[in-house]
Amino acid sequence: MYDKTVRRRRAVLGLLVAGSLILLTAYFGESGGGALHGVQRGTSEVLNPIQEGASVALKPVRDLFGWFGDTLDAKGKVEELSAERDRLRAELARQDNATYENARMAKLLKTTGALGLDRYGPKTGRVILASPTVWYATIRVNKGSSDGVRVGMPVINEQALIGRVTAVFNGAAQVTLLTDTSASRPSAGVSSRAGKRNVFGVLEPLGAGNPNDLVLENVAPGSKLKPGDRVVTRGTVSDPSHPSLYPPGLPIGVITRIDREGTDTEEIHVRPYANMKDLDFVSILTRPRAGGA
């Protein structure tokens, strides 16, 4: 039974193949106006409207699937572009920060070298905390006792003297700035000299008012100082038996005005060179001078 079915199917297939060959031979052999060409034209005329209608009916479906495909592709591209944008943005931020830090560090090293401070064992540190108020002006740096930092050591930035160490921890130190006006702080006056005549005095912060306004006190009468005169450290201490922690010649600021000039209540105002609100890298001078002159 199975063999008969197979033979029957093979016979039908052979007849179909033979018929197809005969029709193809006849189709290509006859002229354009032949019967087979006519059948083809008739069939096309019947089926073309059906095909066109089906095409029009299915177009929204094709468009919908195409929209979904395009949307998914676009979403994938957007995600890739967003990731690339975030990566480039982070890389640019790192480069900008590195450029900024290198510039600040270069200025600090240039200042240290220009002032000949290498012999004072400068330790470069980063400001890790700043006082939130202007009246208690302190910062904290990431250098401490393990780095040889001790209380009383002077601190500079790339511009000038900014203060001294007032507390030390294992990996950090607190620096009280020259402009600190807190009543609880110990006396932080800096022995200074000003102008071309090297007039001596003690630089102190004002008790109230502008925290960036220092005053030069204990100046001899008739000093003839004037606005624009520079103020630097003198490099002495009140007790000659102890070495000075302030090397001579460290820049501090410039005289801005003189109130009640020539009177017993003369007040000489000094603006610090350093911007106390823009401190990032500082240098702590860890070695005092050998003498107290």
pLDDT of residue 255: 94
Cβ atoms of 261 and 137 within 8 Å: the answer is no
Span 184-241, pLDDT tens digits:
454 568 889 999 888 999 998 876 656 688 999 888 887 889 999 999 998 865 545 4
- CATH class of residue range 122-285: mainly beta
The residue among 217, 198, 195 whose CA lies nearest residue 268 is 217
* Average pLDDT across the chain, whole number: 77
- On the CB side of 104, CA atoms within 13 Å amount to 18
Look up residue 224 and give its two tokens. 């003839």
List pLDDT tens digits, range 247-259.
899 999 999 999 8
Can you say whether the dihedral through the CA atoms of 20, 26, 28, 34 is positive or negative?
A: negative
Q: What is the pLDDT of residue 240?
A: 53
Q: Where are the domains of the chain?
A: 35-114, 122-285
Check residues 98 and 276 and name the one with the higher pLDDT: 276
C-alpha distances in Å from residue 172, one per residue of 80, 149, 283: 43, 9, 13
